[in-house]
Structures are given as C-alpha cells and as structure tokens.
Amino acid sequence: LGLRAGAGVGKTRLTEEFLRHAQDQADQAIQIHRGYCESYLSAEPLQPFVQMLRALDGLHDAPPELFAAQNSAPAQRADALLALLLALARRTPQLVCIDDLQWADDASLRLLHRLRAMAEREGLPLLLLSASRPASNPAALPGANDGDADILELPPLTETEAARAVQQLLPQTDPFIASEVQRHAGGNPLFIEELCHAAADHGGGLVEGQSSAAWLAALVESRVGRLPPEQAWLVRVAAVVGNVIPVWLLQALTGCGEQHPAVQALAAQDFIFPDQRPGLLRFKHGITRDVVYEATGLHERQALHRQISIALSARGGAEGQLHEQLAYHDAAANDWPAAARHAEAAGDQALAASALDRAK
C-alpha cells in the first residue's frame, strides 16, 4: 500500500496513527519495522532497511538470518536483508513501513520489489506500507508507481474539514481571521497549523502577494525568533543535525538530553518530538527543519557541522556506517579534503551494494 500526497498534507501522521492502531488492536502479535529515506546525497544505500536492521539489534530469539544481515558485506547486504525479513514473516506477521519513498536509492527500491514478489509467492503475512510525495517525473521512481501496489492519494482538507481544524486550533478566534487562515492554507494541514500559530501570536499578520513557500518560511522563522534563547539555539543545532536527531548527538553538542526541560518545551512549541524509535527525536515536519536550517547563519552552520563530524568520529563504531554522514558534514563544514576522502569511500560502498545512483 502506498500513501501519496504533497508535502504537509499528513502522510506521516496518518502512517503513525495506522501503526499505533495495528499494534494496539491486532488479534495477534505483529512485528513493525520502520525506516525513512533522506533527500541528502549523504544518505547511505539501502538506508530504510539498514535502519530497520539496526533497530532489531539485540532481538531475543533471533533467526540466524539476523546475524548474517548484520555482518554481511555491502555487496551481499540486500540479499541478507531480504532473507532476514522473509524469515521473520514465516514466524510472525510483519509490517514494513518506509517514509519518504520518493528519495529512496535504486538498491532500496529493488529490494522492496523483490521482497513483495517473494512474499506474494510464498503467501506470507507481510504488509509493505510506503509514504511518498508525487514524483514530478514518474520515471524517477522505477517501479514505485506500478500496478502491483495499491496507491491511496491523500487530498488536501475539504473546506468543512479545514474549518473544523481551524476551530480546534483557534477556538476563540475572530471568524474573519479563521476564514483568512482557510483561504491562505488551501486545505494543507501544515499550512493551517503554522497560520494558526501566527494568528494566535499576532492576531493575524497574514501576508498577501507571497508564494506559499515564502510565507511559510517567514512564519516558521518568526516562531523560532520568539522562542527563549536556549530553545532557539537547540532547534538550530537540531536542524543542522538533520530531520531525525539522535539523542546522544544532541546531548554531546548541547548538554541537553531528551528529558531536559528546554528539549521538552520544543515539543510543546510544535517543533521537535520523540520519534517512535527509542533514542531519536525528529522534527514535526521536514519542511520546518529545512526552513530553520536555511535561516541559521552560514558561519554558525559550518561550526556546528564541524562539531557534529568530530562527535560522530569520536563515537566510533563501524567506520563503514559513517562515511556518508562524515562526507556530508565535512563538506558543509568546508573541510574538503576530509569530505572527498569519505565521499570516495562511501561511493565505493554504494557501488558494491549496486546503488549506482548513490555511487555517482
């Protein structure tokens, strides 16, 4: 099943509600695997499936395929991941969910379709759920929009639904302001939320004559500007880390962990929330993260990227898992020799995994 809609319409939220319902209401145990794809060139090959593999680390009563997938070379990793997911599906119903499929690498898409074909052939209890934005060029996602998948298109909110949303977010507002919010938002839930934040703080202040992207950016920047200094700094640091933020990395950079009052206040301010997976935080929406990142000064961004690179290197682990991230952060920090070294190593690994788009 594929959910498809434009940015801010609610794909991720709908997916999370469905997964929560599946876990709570199912009449038998269901194992849920979650992964996401990033737009950065630094995203590693097979990114969503490798995230699922890392989340399984320490699984009790694990099939032998788990060990094989964890220790496989890049060239054999897709086969090992396929064998692992099929082995799990032979034991327990499995739900595999991938967010932002429009940014998946070639190797991930091939693995996704192989998994579907083999699960169908064996009649295994396996649901593949993806969320993606409409492709400007359908050929850019080979096989992602073919007839084998059921595609559910999410439309913008209707006028009645939008009015109900505004009423819930701004229960005491002037009817004129409520109608202006609806008119500007065009049924997009993210735009409705940001405009309601602005209306609550300013009593209006909607700007005519700008593109939706421009005024959305202005609204998000204005909200960051009204945060207390510590919270504003935290949200900028988090934006440089990325859309998904490891708690250990945020703590290493700022000294603030998940339970710190300033971090928890960012959830109340509708910026950053705990992810479904332990040890991770994430921005409520990738668009918000991008706006905050672009609004952060160049020198501050470069300094933060440099600190992130140092923290990642100090954290250690298998260096093969770090080349993509280090290449990205070193380049953004203006450390071109280090960026080139890691980019070449990441490219070699991507080539070995048959992710030719990432290798390039």
Map 272-339 to HEC letters. Answer: EEECCCCCEEEECCHHHHHHHHHHCCHHHHHHHHHHHHHHHHHHCCCHHHCHHHHHHHHHHCCCHHHH
Question: How high is the mean pLDDT of the chain?
Answer: 85
Same structural domain, 11 and 89: yes
Q: Which of 44-48, 61-65, 176-180 has the lowest average pLDDT?
A: 176-180
Same structural domain, 7 and 148: yes
Same structural domain, 149 and 164: no
| End position of a domain, from candidates 174, 206, 238 | 206
Which pLDDT band holds residue 210 (cuts at 50, 70, 90)?
A: low
Same structural domain, 6 and 140: yes
Same structural domain, 119 and 180: no
Same structural domain, 41 and 167: no
**Domains identified in the chain, total number:** 3
Q: What is the pLDDT of residues 55-67, one digit of tens each?
A: 887 677 778 888 8
240 three-class SS: helix
- Identify the top-confidence range among 36-50, 266-280, 324-338: 324-338
Does 146 have pLDDT greater than 70?
Answer: no
Same structural domain, 137 and 39: yes
Tell which wins on pLDDT, 141 or 21.
21
In a domain, 306, yes or no: yes
In a domain, 360, yes or no: no
Does 139 have pLDDT greater than 50?
Answer: no
- What values do phi and psi take at 297, rounded to 5? -60, 150
In a domain, 282, yes or no: yes
Cβ(11)–Cβ(5) under 8 Å?
Answer: yes
Same structural domain, 110 and 43: yes
Mean pLDDT across 52-56: 88
Does 299 have pLDDT greater than 70?
Answer: yes
- Identify the top-confidence range among 103-112, 172-181, 212-221: 103-112
In a domain, 217, yes or no: no
- Position 143 scores a pLDDT of 44
Q: What is the pLDDT of residues 223-276, one digit of tens each?
A: 898 899 999 999 999 999 998 899 999 999 999 999 999 999 999 888 999 987
Q: What's the CA gap between 235 and 81, in Å, rounded?
A: 35
| End position of a domain, from candidates 132, 153, 174 | 153
Structural domain for 134, as ranges: 2-153
In a domain, 51, yes or no: yes
- Say what the pTM is: 0.79
In a domain, 178, yes or no: yes
Count Cβ atoms within 10 A of the Cβ of residue 137 and give its class: 0-12 exposed, 13-18 middle, 19 or more buried: exposed
In a domain, 223, yes or no: no
Which amino acid makes up residue 124? L
Same structural domain, 256 and 199: no
Same structural domain, 142 and 168: no
Mean pLDDT across 45-55: 90
Point out which residues pair with 34 in neighbouring strands.
Answer: 97
Q: What is the pLDDT of residues 2-16, one digit of tens each?
A: 999 988 888 988 998
Same structural domain, 147 and 248: no
Does 176 have pLDDT greater than 90?
Answer: no
Which pLDDT band holds residue 173 (cuts at 50, 70, 90)?
A: confident
Does 97 have pLDDT greater than 80?
Answer: yes
Q: What's the CA gap between 359 and 298, in Å, rounded?
A: 28
Residues in the chain: 360
In a domain, 75, yes or no: yes
Residue 157, by phi and psi: left (phi above 0), alpha (psi -120 to 50) or beta? beta
Alpha helix positions (H), the chain: 11-25, 47-55, 64-70, 74-89, 106-122, 159-169, 175-185, 189-202, 212-225, 229-241, 247-254, 261-268, 286-295, 298-315, 323-332, 336-352, 356-359
Q: What's the CA gap between 234 and 353, in Å, rounded?
A: 36
| End position of a domain, from candidates 136, 153, 170 | 153
- Position 6 scores a pLDDT of 87
Same structural domain, 282 and 316: yes
Does 135 have pLDDT greater than 90?
Answer: no
